[in-house]
Structure 1
Amino acid sequence: MKRWTSSVISTLALGASIGAYAQGCGTGGGVTVCLTATGTASHVELSWTADKPITNVQILRDKDSDPDGRKRLAKVGKNVRNYVDEGAVAGKPYWYWIKFSVDGQSYDSNAAATARAGMRDMTSLQLSAKMAPGWNLGNTLEAIGGETAWGNPKANQAIMDGIKAAGFKSVRIPVSWKQYADANDNISASWMARVTEVVNYARNAGLYTIINIHWDGGWMQPTYSQQAMVNARIAKFWTQIANNFKTYDDYLLFAGTNEVMVDGDYGPPTVEYYTVQNSFNQTFVDAVRATGGYNKSRHLIVQGFNTNIDYTVAYFSVPKDPAAKKLMVEVHYYDPYNFTLNGSSDNIWQWGAIADNPAHTETWANEPYVDAQMDKMKTRFMDSLGMGVLMGEYAAISRLSVDSSQRYRTYWDETITRSAAARGIVPVYWDHGYTGGDHTMGLFDRSTGAQVHTGVISAVVNAAK
């Protein structure tokens, strides 16, 4: 039996966790055959093309890419070009081959791999244990005005490969949708395709991947007057998004919203505000589950009010979900503000136990405070409710003019990461893409995936172990 020369074209790397679609093409005996395998909620659909006649067509399957040990599933007619594998087991990857003859000589196709279903039998708490640390593709797909409008290059495979190689296990991809939708909230096909392409970059790299509805222009105001409109839009957007990704495995997670609040009001929420915001979470869960397929049991992430830990503990209401133990709750962490985010002043530039100048150090939000905040989330959600917890954003800006070695920034990033990860909370570093100059948070070259701030990267990755 002769092997044929082949090339693989696939949306998901065969060596990574297998996704819903893969294709292999090759040439043997002067004939080019392309085999496509597509996973659905109940089976695997195979189809193939041949640019010249072939005979003695056989379909083979294995649980790895090694052709040794393959078993024949079927022999089909020479003109048949499709087959349904009803025997694939949910959640397991499979490699498929087409064996065929040309002028009496036998050839093999290259493997095309897929999984019948990507939903493993695990709770969100169990899944979250596999996801730390995470990294944000910030200021890119959520940029108002277009993907490059805020100064970052278009997302590519290199950046996903780079963060995976650095030791990150998850990527959060903030996404804006309204600017790419028509007046009736129909998302453009080109934008859905672009988001899919970026998700596939992440999945090719073997990363757990989170997509959301991010700030999106500020239409998601949690007020009674806006409630009906916002819920209708959330439902319509998530119905479209979920349908597009319904065959993707459980390495893809959906996060319903982002930092829901009334613009400009950072204080404790009123009853109106948190009641309406809780309704947004319920609408999101209902919309996704209604699309069926893998979305019936996809892990979903719902948000506390303004993703503030104290407000989440006090006011969050767990949405009703027909899928058992498939919800995570998301918070963010940027305390103390004057150290982490306030770029208008460099007066507060030291932090924590290593600080040696009280005049430049906040008197609150030190290490014991961090641990106490993380304990609140662990006790309230992980221990009491069995919910996974995602710290979807955290970072401190560089202050190179006063902390040229980035000692304090690195120490803060390391401490927050370790405190979260030690409790099973998934820390997802906020990277806005900008690596040069002062008051930046970027860690990687977005074009090449190369590490820029290796000290911070190593501190975060090692602290999550």
Structure 2
Amino acid sequence: MKKILCVGLSLLAWAWISAQEFESAAEAVANMKLGWNLGNTLDSNSGDLENMWIEMWTDRRPVDYETAWGQPVTRPELFKLFKDAGFNAVRVPVTWYPHMEAKFDTELKWNPDADPIGTQIQSDWMKRVREVVDYVIAQDMYCIINIHHDTGAATTHWLVAGEDEYAAQHERFEAVWTQIAEEFKDYGEHLLFEGYNEMLDPYDSWCFASFATQSKYNSTVATSAYNAINSYAQSFVDAVRATGGNNATRNLIVSTYGACSGEGTWNSHLQDPLKQMKLPADDKEGHIIFEIHSYTGLSSGLSSAKSSVNKMMTAVKTNLASKGAPVIFGEWGTDNGEDYDNRRDNMAAFLRHFVEQAKANDFGTFYWMGLSDGAHRSVPEFNQPELVEAIVKGYYGDAGYGAITDVYGEDAEEAEYYDVLGRRHATPVSGLNIVRMTDGSIRKIVKP
């Protein structure tokens, strides 16, 4: 559909037109610009079969889970803070198993075999997830929702990277995604689904499959794990596409084994998660995104960290992006929570370098947590402003977000600028602007 800018077009009508034109996965990654994770919020859970403390000591309301890990109730203003700073996407991790059919009774211990989670998602939890998604979308930002701590190394996980485990759980996995997809099938292209988070083999191996086995590598375990990851990815795509509506062309995200990025050179199997990942079959070509995670150490110095990232991104380009889908770092940062206090200058320099290199390679970035954390989210305000500045300058350059560098160029003087009421202006006005470039393309920009 050809975009036509009408002077009297309202913002609501404009959003409707845009929602009908589902962009490709590569376009979505480019348009996300900078992303951030709303971590430790809707992903919060007890995570221990021997100590189901949230279930034992709370009323199990959505708010009890949302605030269980120290974060306040999420408010719309938080996302405006990030939008105004230059971020254009938010990943909202969601853990589902506590909000399905298990009763949990009043015991600290939970036996999933005796009290299974079933397949049905509780309506009050789905409602809260939808509310938070709406907060993000209302800021004209991209939003990613996923299945989060249902994977991983916690004893409460039910999604495991193994062929036997896939056979036992894939119907439940598909049922969960069918419900999520049905709930959001009418949402536009700014909403993306991520199939699963950091799924591990039965030994909870990080870095690559079977690393936690006694021999540090077991080809049988590894093969089973990689086969399962590819099977889960295909099941996810098939389940979502089957719901129709806007889900027919929605951009979908699949992660490598453990969301491993292959960073490092200390083991010959580190690249296996990238090499063994397959691009799921999809009738709608160009709507799949690969996801990986990266947490780099700064203890060996800034130069070493930068070198490690440079090598990693080259390998990701060669061993993953080459398969025909764009790549995002769904989580990234440094590997030590004390870096901000003890290595602040190096940390800021590293974050800027990471974003610069990711942008140069056409990779998307979603910073994990930090920036605005705990009570600071309620204000809302940034409690790590130096890191925000570093990330923003890494993407937009020294002038920062206010320069709107993605619009200004040789055609800037001839571009046409309209406000949300369709009135034309000689230059951008404060707030949202609709810009028609000389080639006829349309862009939306925000001027502080």
TM-score (norm: length of structure 1) = 0.67
Q: What is residue 247 of structure 1 aligned with on the other side? A: 186
Q: What is residue 179 of structure 1 aligned with on the other side? A: 98
C-alpha displacement of 1:122? 3.0
Q: What is residue 301 of structure 2 aligned with on the other side? A: 351
Aligned partners of 1:137 and 1:433 also within 8 Å? no
- Which runs of 5 or more structure 1 residues have no equivalent in the other structure? 1-61, 71-92, 96-112, 340-347, 354-364, 436-441
Question: Is 2:237 the counterpart of 1:276?
Answer: no
Going from structure 1 to structure 2, the CA distance change for 1:63 and 1:177 (only over 3 Å counts) comes to farther
* Cα distance in 2 between the residues matched to 1:161 and 1:406: 26
* Cα distance in 2 between the residues matched to 1:449 and 1:227: 42
Equivalent position SS for 2:69: coil
Aligned partners of 1:239 and 1:291 also within 8 Å? yes
Q: What is residue 455 of structure 1 aligned with on the other side? A: 386
Q: What is residue 345 of structure 2 aligned with on the other side? A: 407
Q: What is residue 360 of structure 1 aligned with on the other side? A: none
Q: What is residue 208 of structure 1 aligned with on the other side? A: 142
* Cα distance in 1 between the residues matched to 2:272 and 2:27: 25
Q: What is residue 135 of structure 1 aligned with on the other side? A: 36
Question: Is 2:250 the counterpart of 1:331?
Answer: no
| Alignment partner of 2:72 out of 147, 150, 153 | 153
Q: Which residue identity lines up with residue 249 of structure 1 in the other structure?
A: G
Going from structure 1 to structure 2, the CA distance change for 1:116 and 1:69 (only over 3 Å counts) comes to closer
| Alignment partner of 1:118 out of 3, 6, 19 | 19
C-alpha displacement of 1:312? 3.1
What's the Cα RMSD here?
2.5
Q: What is residue 193 of structure 1 aligned with on the other side? A: 127
Query: Would you tell me which structure has more strand in proportion to its own residues?
Result: 1
Q: Which runs of 4 or more aligned residues in structure 1 lie more than 4 Å from their structure 2 counterparts after TM superposition?
A: 432-435
C-alpha displacement of 1:317? 1.1
Going from structure 1 to structure 2, the CA distance change for 1:368 and 1:387 (only over 3 Å counts) comes to same
Q: Which residue identity lines up with residue 394 of structure 1 in the other structure?
A: W
Query: Would you tell me which structure has more helix in proportion to its own residues?
Result: 2
Going from structure 1 to structure 2, the CA distance change for 1:297 and 1:434 (only over 3 Å counts) comes to closer
Question: Is 2:275 the counterpart of 1:314?
Answer: yes
Aligned partners of 1:119 and 1:297 also within 8 Å? no
* Cα distance in 2 between the residues matched to 1:304 and 1:222: 11
C-alpha displacement of 1:154? 1.4
Q: Which residue identity lines up with residue 41 of structure 2 in the other structure?
A: T
* Cα distance in 1 between the residues matched to 2:12 and 2:368: 35
* Cα distance in 2 between the residues matched to 1:351 and 1:193: 45
Question: Is 2:206 the counterpart of 1:266?
Answer: yes
Larger Rg: 1
* Cα distance in 1 between the residues matched to 2:9 and 2:293: 48
> Percent identity, aligned pairs only?
30
* Cα distance in 2 between the residues matched to 1:371 and 1:401: 22
Q: More relative contact order in 1 or in 2 (CA 8 Å, sep 6+)?
A: 2
What per-residue deviation string (whole Å, max 9, x for no partner) do you get for residues 5-26 of structure 1? xxxxxxxxxxxxxxxxxxxxxx
* Cα distance in 2 between the residues matched to 1:252 and 1:402: 35
Going from structure 1 to structure 2, the CA distance change for 1:219 and 1:432 (only over 3 Å counts) comes to farther
* Cα distance in 1 between the residues matched to 2:208 and 2:254: 19
C-alpha displacement of 1:178? 1.3
Going from structure 1 to structure 2, the CA distance change for 1:401 and 1:313 (only over 3 Å counts) comes to closer
C-alpha displacement of 1:462? 1.2
* Cα distance in 2 between the residues matched to 1:400 and 1:117: 41
Q: Which residue identity lines up with residue 426 of structure 1 in the other structure?
A: G
C-alpha displacement of 1:234? 1.4
Aligned partners of 2:305 and 2:350 also within 8 Å? no
Equivalent position SS for 1:118: helix
Question: For this pair of structures, how many residues does the alignment match?
Answer: 332
C-alpha displacement of 1:284? 0.4
Q: Which residue identity lines up with residue 312 of structure 1 in the other structure?
A: P
C-alpha displacement of 1:114? 6.0
- Which runs of 5 or more structure 2 residues have no equivalent in the other structure? 46-53, 55-64, 102-116, 151-155, 210-221, 262-270, 397-448
Does 326-335 or 178-187 show the bigger shift?
178-187
TM-score (norm: length of structure 2) = 0.69
Question: Is 2:242 the counterpart of 1:304?
Answer: no
Going from structure 1 to structure 2, the CA distance change for 1:401 and 1:306 (only over 3 Å counts) comes to closer
| Alignment partner of 1:418 out of 356, 362, 368 | 356
Q: What is residue 288 of structure 1 aligned with on the other side? A: 240
* Cα distance in 1 between the residues matched to 2:341 and 2:67: 31
* Cα distance in 2 between the residues matched to 1:366 and 1:130: 27
* Cα distance in 1 between the residues matched to 2:9 and 2:180: 39
Question: Is 2:329 the counterpart of 1:391?
Answer: yes
